[in-house]
Amino acid sequence: MGIWIINAQVVAAGNELSKKHILLEGNTIEKMIDAAGALPETAGHTVIDAAGKLVTPGLIDMHVHLREPGFEHKETIASGTRSAARGGFTTIACMPNTRPVIDTVETVKYVLDKAETEGIVRVLPYGCITKNELGRELTDFDALKQAGAIGFTDDGVGVQSAQMMKDAMAKAASIGLPIIAHCEDNTLVEGAWASEGEFSRKHGLKAIPNESEAIHVGRDVLLAEATGVHYHVCHVSTEQSVRLIRHAKQFGIKVTAEVCPHHLLLSDEDIPGLDDANWKMNPPLRTPKDVQACIEGLLDGTIDILVTDHAPHSEEEKAKGVNLAPFGIVGFETAFPLLYTKFIATGQWTLQFLVDKMTSLPAQVFGLPLGTLEVGKEADITIIDLNTEKAVDPAEFASKGRNTPFIGWNLKGWPTHTIVGGQVVWSES
C-alpha cells in the first residue's frame, strides 16, 4: 500500500515554499503534484496530512557512532537507528571504532546484517584505515570495499605517520573510495580535554591547541594533492583548519569537509564549569573566533556538509567527571531543531541552505543516489514541524545516550515522521 503525503510544504528556493501532494509507491517517489487544486484520489493508500509542515528529502548523517559491536551499553544498532529516525535521518554512516574495530570483512558484514535485521534506517559502514586503528599496518581496502565499506577512517584517533597516510590515500584512490580523516596530532593533546582558550586559562588546565587539528589537515591536503584521493576532513573545529581547507580547494585539491552543530552553536566560553562532562567532546569546544570561522566556512562552501558525530556514552561513564569521562555527545535527535532555531528562525541562513547541507550535499560528496525530492528517486522523506516549540529532554531520547549539553534548550523544527524506502519507520503519534 502506497502513501500519499498531502499538503506538503517543500523548499522551492531560499526560504520560499511550495505546496505539493507527494505519492510514494514501493520505495520510489511516484508523483509530485501541485496542491493548488483538488486533493488527489487517495483510496487504497495511507494518507499523511503534512499541512503546515516542512517535507524534505530524508536527512543524511555521514558521521555517527553506533557503538556495536563491543559497546552495547552505550548504544546498539537498534537503539541508534531509532534515535536517528527520531531526528529525521534516513541514512547514516557509522564509524569503525567499535570493539572489535571494523577492520575485517567479517565486522563489516556483522554491521550490515545487524542493520538489516534490527535497524530501521539505512546504515553505511566505514572500514578502518589501519588494523585495530593502531596506525601500523593498512587494512585490506579491496576486501573491505567488496564487503560494503564506503570509505576508510581511523576516526577516534589520527593517523600519526605521514607515510602511512600517504600509502592509505594512494590505495584508496586506486579503488575509488575516500579517506575520512580524524585530524589530531597526539603529541599536542595528551592529558588534556579542553581547548586552548578562555575556559582553560581561567581554570588553569592543560589545553588542546588548535594546531593539534590543523597540523594534520595541512599535512593531509598535501598528501591528497600528491595521491589524487578524495580526502574528507572530519568534524572541523578551528579557524586554521578552515583556512587550510579553503586554500586547498582554491588549488583544486579534492578535499571536502564537515562540521557539527555543537561547533557552530557553542564555544569554550559556554562551558559552565568542571562538573559536567556533557561538555567534554573531541574536538573540544573552541573559541568564539573559531566558531565564527566554521560558520563562515560553511556559508562559503569551504565546509561542505553538516554531521552530528553522534557519540553516546552511558550515564555512569559521563558521571566520572571531566578528567575521567569519555569524549562525546549525542546528536541525532537535536541536530535539525538546534540548527533551525539558531540559524533559520533568526534569519541568518535560508531554509534551502540548511536542508541542502543535510541532504543533497552529503549525497553528492559521497556519491550516494539519495538526498533529493524528485519523481523516480528513493522514497526517503522527513516531515518536520517548524512551529511547535519544546525543550530538549534527554529522558525522551530513543538513544541509550543522554549525554548532551543542550538540556532544557527550547527549540523549534522537530521531525514528526521519518520514511525510509517508502516505509514509515517513525512518527511522533
**Residue 320: how many CA atoms within 13 Å on its side-chain side?**
11
142 is in an annotated binding site: no
Question: What is the share, in percent, of the chain residues with pLDDT greater than 90?
Answer: 98
pLDDT of residue 1: 80
> Looking at per-residue confidence, does 1 or 17 come out higher?
17
Query: Binding site annotation covers 65?
Result: yes
Residue 6: its pLDDT value, please? 97
**Percent of the residues in the chain that have a pLDDT greater than 70, as a whole number:** 100
Between β-strands 89-94 and 122-125, what pairing exists: parallel, antiparallel or unpaired?
Answer: parallel
The residue whose grid cell reads 552553536 is 265
* Tens digit of each residue's pLDDT (9 = 90 or more) over 309-335: 999 999 999 999 999 999 999 999 999
Provide Rg for the chain, Cα atoms. Answer: 21
Q: Are 366 and 178 within 8 A, CB to CB?
A: yes
Residue 275 annotated in active site: no
Evaluate if residue 37 carries a pLDDT over 90: no
| 328 annotated ligand binder | yes
**Which cell numbers hold the place of 61?**
548523517
pLDDT, tens only, 127-183: 999 999 999 999 999 999 999 999 999 999 999 999 999 999 999 999 999 999 999
The one catalytic residue among 103, 220, 309, 385: 309
User: Is residue 401 very low, low, confident or very high in pLDDT (cuts 50, 70, 90)?
Assistant: very high
Residues 350 and 15: beta-carbon distance below 8 Å: yes
pLDDT digit string (tens) for 182-209?
A: 999 999 998 899 999 999 999 999 999 9
Cell representation of residue 223? 598528501
Quote the mean pLDDT of the chain: 97
Q: Is 186 assigned a ligand-binding role in the annotation? A: no
Q: Would you give the distance in Å from CA 414 to the centre of its chain?
A: 17
CA dist., res. 293 & res. 257, Å (int): 14
* 210 annotated to a ligand binding site: no
C-beta separation of 94 from 83 below 8 A: no
Judge whether 61 is annotated as a binding position: no
Sign of CA dihedral 200, 316, 85, 388: negative
- Decide if pLDDT at 36 tops 90: no
Would you state the cell numbers that stand for residue 354, as one nine-digit string? 540548511
What is the arithmetic mean of pLDDT over 227-247? 98
Q: Where are the alpha helices (DSSP H) in 154-261?
A: 162-175, 198-203, 211-227, 239-250
Q: Taking residues 114-138, report their average pLDDT.
A: 98
Which H/E stretch holds residue 357? helix 351-358
Residue 262 assigned ligand-binding role: no
**pLDDT tier, 38 (very low <50, low <70, confident <90, very high otherwise):** confident
Question: Pairing between strand 46-49 and 28-34?
Answer: unpaired
- The stretch 346-372 carries a mean pLDDT of 98
155 is in an annotated binding site: yes
Mean pLDDT of 262-270: 98
